[in-house]
Structure 1
Amino acid sequence: MTELLEVFTKDRVGYLRFNRPDKLNALAPEMLEGFTAGLTAHEADPDVRVVVVCSTGRAFSTGGDMSGPGRAASAGHRSSYTDWQRQRASLERWLRIWDSPKPVVAAVQGYCLGTATVMAVMCDLTVVADDAVIGWPQLPVGGGLLSPVASWFVGPKKARELAYIAGSRFSAQEAVELGWANHVYPAGELHERAHELATRIANTPSDVLAVKKYALNRTMNLQGFRDAVLSGAEFSAVSHQAPGAEFIAARRAELGMKETIAAVQQGLLAGDYPQAE
């Protein structure tokens, strides 16, 4: 398994630990592939009853890796069909957590941004360090992946606020108060407390845990959760082709990421946004 993702077990708990602290655990393709393989391995291990997803360093994950050739290219340069496929594959990867027969606990410290927010709430339980910051993209070029999923946990009003204001964030304490997370712990205790929680869950037989999880999932799926999550890929692909999104992508190519974010946050580009016909 790649060094960027550590897969191991301890006390009937299987671990998937992102290990790219120098890049704030931005999710490189090999990390994503390793995640799916590692989760599958833990599911097949009869000694593993619970899985914990965590990270080394000062950030849980800043989301998708935007470095490397072609990775930072605008989604507008892809066809809508290709974009939809790509976004759906991302959501299906995190739905693997939802569908897993074993409970999965996310332990979040520092920044949890972009697609990492989807991963964290797909886990059965989410615990956060008191330094955690949950954040949405700083450029308004997409719509459909993050907030529709979050709406099931934080409510529609807060989800709209997060979606409509670029760069929205909330704190660890707010995460618990909103229902996005279960518990907040001191940063230095996060991983120990997450392990304690997981071992308490592991005192229940695996087959009983699986039935409990499927029963809870069935309730949300009957309300449309799974279909709503996957529909986000369609809306995301459409939003990337919107004239406003293409305008911002062009400014990013011209000015650079930091300068474009600053311009958007200060409202300097708002008067120039094109209107869809």
Structure 2
Amino acid sequence: MTESLARYEVPVAGVARITLARADKFNAINPQLIYDVNEAFDKALYDDQIKVIILAADGKHFSAGHDIADTVESYQSAVQSESRKVGTWSGFQEPETHGWFAAEKEAYFETAKRWRNISKPTICAVQGKCIAGALIFAWVCDIIVASADAQFSDPVMTFGMPGVEWLAHPWELGARKAKEFLFTADSWSADEAHRLGMVNHVVPREELADFALAMATKIAGKPSFALKLAKEAVNKTLDIQGQANALDAGFYLHHLGHTQNFRLYGWGMDPTNVPSLASVPKMKKD
């Protein structure tokens, strides 16, 4: 049996902590990690003794984002073959863009939607680099606490994509800063993320785990039903403002980018500006 890439523990009564446990790969996100985290969220969700969930990560960095480097020769195959149903899509094994869309919709988008809507409060503790796909893990949480050395970036523009699958950038940063973040592909500090309202607190690296746990413990002292209702109310407010539809549209545009790259390069991304992708075996063009 494959060892889980998401460690689950209950550090104090009422609080579950899910930890990305792939530090040897900088917690790069592969299909197994996604589904292991999803199962851990389910475990916390259906345990009535758990009132708050912390999402954290082992090692120097929170996550390097999608594991393209590790699966560069079989990226599409890995995403498709390891997909598990979490939403309403199918067709994981269909060829090229059909299978890619179906697999990414389930693995990246539907899981993110589930985590965002889990009825219990969630806190993400981010240290070091939080890159591209890793932003999804942080942004779906209700509260983000970052270490002073944390850095956030979405550099996928460099290889011909408009942004990661969960295009929450305007909601997290505001429209103009979201455009700058995407267009430049720059890395932004925890202090800048805090100034823009994306991060709730910035703390010294050595205090990150304790700070997140103390906040979770404080929240866990509140009535669980009231916590669920408050979260539902805030999420519904965002949905009424259009967030849910905007995220759907962002995902479709993300895959328009993939389709264009398949047409031009025979692969889901543009390798011309990324030397490490130059040797990617090209698929038959659509």
The answer to whether structure 1 residue 82 and structure 2 residue 82 are counterparts is: no
Q: Is the 8 A contact 1:106 1:127 kept in 2?
A: yes
Q: Deviations over 1:7-44 (max 9, x none)?
A: 11122111110111111100122111111111011011
**SS of corresponding position for 2:7:** strand
Q: Is the 8 A contact 1:108 1:129 kept in 2?
A: yes
Q: Match of 2:38?
A: 36
Q: 1:162 to 1:3 in 2, by over 3 A?
A: same
Q: Which residue identity lines up with residue 48 of structure 2 in the other structure? A: P
Deviation at 1:146, TM superposition (A): 5.8
* Mean CA deviation greater in 240-249 or 150-159: 240-249
TM-score normalised by length of structure 1: 0.84
Q: 1:259 to 1:154 in 2, by over 3 A?
A: farther
Q: 1:114 to 1:198 in 2, by over 3 A?
A: same
Q: Is the 8 A contact 2:29 2:133 kept in 1?
A: no
TM-score normalised by length of structure 2: 0.82
Q: 1:259 to 1:158 in 2, by over 3 A?
A: farther
Q: Is the 8 A contact 1:147 1:160 kept in 2?
A: no
Q: Match of 1:256?
A: 276
Q: Is the 8 A contact 1:64 1:115 kept in 2?
A: yes
Q: Which has the higher helix share?
A: 1
CA RMSD of aligned residues (A): 2.5
Structure 2 distance, partners of 1:22, 1:59, is 10
The answer to whether structure 1 residue 57 and structure 2 residue 59 are counterparts is: yes
Q: Deviations over 1:242-263 (max 9, x none)?
A: 369945735379x434999xxx
Q: 1:55 to 1:258 in 2, by over 3 A?
A: farther
* Mean CA deviation greater in 85-94 or 186-195: 85-94
Q: Deviations over 1:203-233 (max 9, x none)?
A: 1111110001001111001111112112222
- The structure, 1 or 2, with the larger RCO (C-alpha pairs under 8 Å, 6+ apart) is 1
Deviation at 1:192, TM superposition (A): 0.7
**SS of corresponding position for 1:249:** coil
Q: Is the 8 A contact 2:18 2:37 kept in 1?
A: yes
Q: Is the 8 A contact 2:15 2:51 kept in 1?
A: yes
Structure 2 distance, partners of 1:19, 1:206, is 28
Match runs of 1:1-277 below 5 Å: 2-11=3-12, 12-66=14-68, 67-68=70-71, 69-71=73-75, 79-89=96-106, 90-137=108-155, 139-145=158-164, 148-165=167-184, 167-242=185-260, 246=264, 249-251=270-272, 255-257=275-277
* Mean CA deviation greater in 78-87 or 10-19: 78-87
